[in-house]
A and B are shown apart, each in its own frame.
Chain A
Amino acid sequence: MVIVKRKTLSFSERLYLPEIVRGLSITFRKMFAKRVTRQYPEERLETTEVTRGQPRLVVNEDDSIACVSCGLCEAACPAYAITIDGQETDRFIEREPERFDIDMLRCILCGFCEEACPKDAIYMSDELELADYSRAALIYDIEKLKRPKSALEQRIGYVNKINQRWQTPSSTS
C-alpha cells in the first residue's frame, strides 16, 4: 500500500492568483512557439524506402506488364484480397494476367505479395491515400494498379538490398 501525502500548499499557492498569473504567462509564451500542425493535402509526410503503402504492379520499360500470373501472391495473400485470371501471350513470358484485381478494402498492406513474387512484378508503393464513394470503386483492377518501374524505384532498391541477406556466396554464382 502506498500512502500519498497531499502536498501542503504555500500561502501564495493557496491565494491562486500568483499561480494563475504563472499559468497565463506560460500560455502566452506558447502562442509564439513553433507550430506542429501539418497542412495535410498541401504538406504531406515524406515517405521513405521502408514505407509499405498499397501494392502496385510493375510495368516494364516497353509498356508490358511484368506479371506472369503465377498466382503465388494470390496464394500468399492472408486477406484474400488478390484475384488473378491468367491468359496466354505471344511475349517471351508466355503468360500474363487477363484480370488482376486487388480489393483495397481487404488489403492489409502486409507486403506478402511483394515477397512471394518470383518475377519482381508487384511492389508496395508509397501511395497511402484510399478513399472513394463506393466499395466497387475500391476494387482496383489491372489498369489502376499499373505503375512504371521508375515510380517504384525507391522500394525496389530497398527490397533488393534486403534480399542480399538471404543470398549465400554459392547462390550468386
Chain B
Amino acid sequence: MNEILVWVIKTGFIFGGLVGTAAAMSLAERKFSAWMQYRIGPNRVGPWGLLQPIADGVKFMFKEELIPDGANKWVFQLAPLLAAMPAMMTIAVIPFAGRVELFGQDFGNLSITDLDIGALYVLAIGGLAIYGVILGGWASNSKYSLLGGLRASAQMISYELSLILTILAVIAMTGDLDLRAIVEAQNTGGVWNVLEWNIWYQPLGFMLFVVATFAETNRHPFDFAECEPELVGGFHTEYSAMRFALFFIGEYCAMTVMACLTVTLFLGGPSVPFWAAAPWFVGFAAFLVKAGFFLFLFIWVRWTLPRFRFDQLMHLGWKVFLPLSLLNLLATGVAILFRGGA
C-alpha cells in the first residue's frame, strides 16, 4: 500500500480521535460535574445530551467575534491558535498501539510517527503552549487578562521543571528518548508484564508527574490562568466566539495528550496486564482505558479541590516539587549505577 496514504489515514485517525476526545471531554466535564453536585447535567440536546458539543460548536461559530479597540490585532488573533496547536502537535509521537494489520494491510505502528527523540519533542513543543496564554493575555490590552497570563506563565514554568526532571528519570531508566522504546521496555513479555510498568520503579516520579500535568494543563487546583473573583475571567476575558472556544479545545487537547503521556511513561502504554503478546486492538483498548482514567481524574479533581493560593502554588512548585524531583532523579541514578547500567 502507498506509504503516503497510510500516513494520511493514520494522521486522520489519531488527529480526529484527539479532537473528538476534546469535544467529548467538554460534555463529560459538565456531566460529571453535575453528577458530583447532585445535578443531572446537559440532557436536552440529543439523548443524554450527547449532541451538546455539536450544539456548542455551532453556537460558537455563529457568535459575533469582538476584538477590543486597544488590542494588538495580529497577536490577539494568533494567540488562540498558539494555545491549541502544541497539544495537537505533541499527539504525533504518542505510541497508541503496536503494529496494525487490518484487511490484510500492514499499517505500521499505531502512532503518527516514532521519533528518536520523542520525549524531547513532547517537552519542547508542549512548552510552547505557554505562548498562547501569555500572548493572549498581553494582546488583549486589559490588565486582568495580562495578570491572568502572567500568573499562568509563572506557574507553567515552575512546574515544567519538575515535569521534565521526572521524565528524565524515566528516560534514564530506559536509556532511550524514543517513546516507543520506553513503551516496549515496559512490556518485554511474560505473564507478569504489569510489574515492568515504570509506576512500580518510579512511584514518587509518577506522583510528581501527575500533579505536574495538572499544573501544566492549567487545571484545578492549579488553574491560575483564570479566576473569576480576582481577574474577571482570566487571560481569555476579552475573547469571544470561536477564538474563545479554541482556548478550551486547546486545554482539552492538552489534557488528552498529558493523559496519554502519563500512560506511555508510567503505565506501559498499550501493554495489557498478563497478556504480553496481545493483538494491537486489545492493546489500543487498554491504552484508551488507562488514558480515560486519567482524563476522568482531571475532571474528578477539578470538582473536588478548590484553587490554591498563588504563593502556596509557588511554594509547592519550587520548595517541594523541585527538590523531590531532583531527589527522585538522584535516587534513580544511584540505583542504575549499582544495578550496572540501564
Contact = CB atoms under 8 A, between A and B. Distances in A.
Contacts of B36: 27, 30-31
Contacts of A26: 304
B38 interface: yes
B135 to A, nearest CB: 33
Nearest to B44: A39
A100 to B, nearest CB: 39
Nearest to A28: B300
A31 B41 CA distance: 12
A27 B37 CA distance: 8
**Chain B interface bracket (under 10, 10 to 19, 20 to 34, 35 or more):** 10 to 19
A36 B38 contact: yes
A37 B44 CA distance: 14
A32 B32 CA distance: 11
Contacts of B125: none
A17 B301 CA distance: 12
B40 A37 contact: yes
Contacts of A20: 301, 304-305
B303 A34 contact: no
Contacts of B300: 24, 27-28
Interface in A6-47: 17, 20, 23-24, 26-28, 30-37, 39
Contacts of B40: 35, 37, 39
Contacts of A30: 35-38
A33 B38 contact: yes
A124 to B, nearest CB: 32
A24 B38 CA distance: 15
A114 B207 CA distance: 69
Contact of B304 (A27, A33, A36): A27
Interface in A31-87: 31-37, 39
Nearest to B301: A24
B319 interface: no
Interface residues of A, number: 16
B39 interface: yes
A35 B38 CA distance: 5
Interface in B76-123: none
A24 B304 contact: yes
B214 to A, nearest CB: 11
B304 A34 contact: no
B304 A31 contact: no
Interface string B30-49: 00100111111000000000
A23 B304 contact: yes
Nearest to B302: A27
A36 B305 CA distance: 22
Contacts of A35: 38-40
A28 B297 CA distance: 11
A27 B301 CA distance: 9
Contacts of A23: 304-305
Nearest to A26: B304
Given A24-B300, A27-B300, A28-B300, A34 B38 contact: yes
A36 B39 contact: yes
B222 to A, nearest CB: 13
Contacts of B32: 31
A20 B222 CA distance: 14
Contacts of A37: 38-40
B38 A27 contact: no
Contacts of A32: 35
30 contacts: A17-B207, A20-B304, A20-B305, A23-B305, A24-B300, A24-B301, A24-B304, A26-B304, A27-B36, A27-B300, A27-B303, A27-B304, A28-B300, A30-B35, A30-B36, A30-B37, A30-B38, A31-B32, A31-B35, A31-B36, A32-B35, A33-B38, A34-B38, A35-B38, A35-B39, A35-B40, A36-B38, A36-B39, A37-B38, A37-B40
Given A30-B35, A33-B38, 19 more contacts: A20-B304, A20-B305, A23-B305, A24-B300, A24-B301, A24-B304, A27-B36, A27-B303, A30-B36, A30-B38, A31-B32, A31-B35, A31-B36, A34-B38, A35-B38, A35-B39, A36-B38, A37-B40, A39-B40
Interface of A: 17, 20, 23-24, 26-28, 30-37, 39
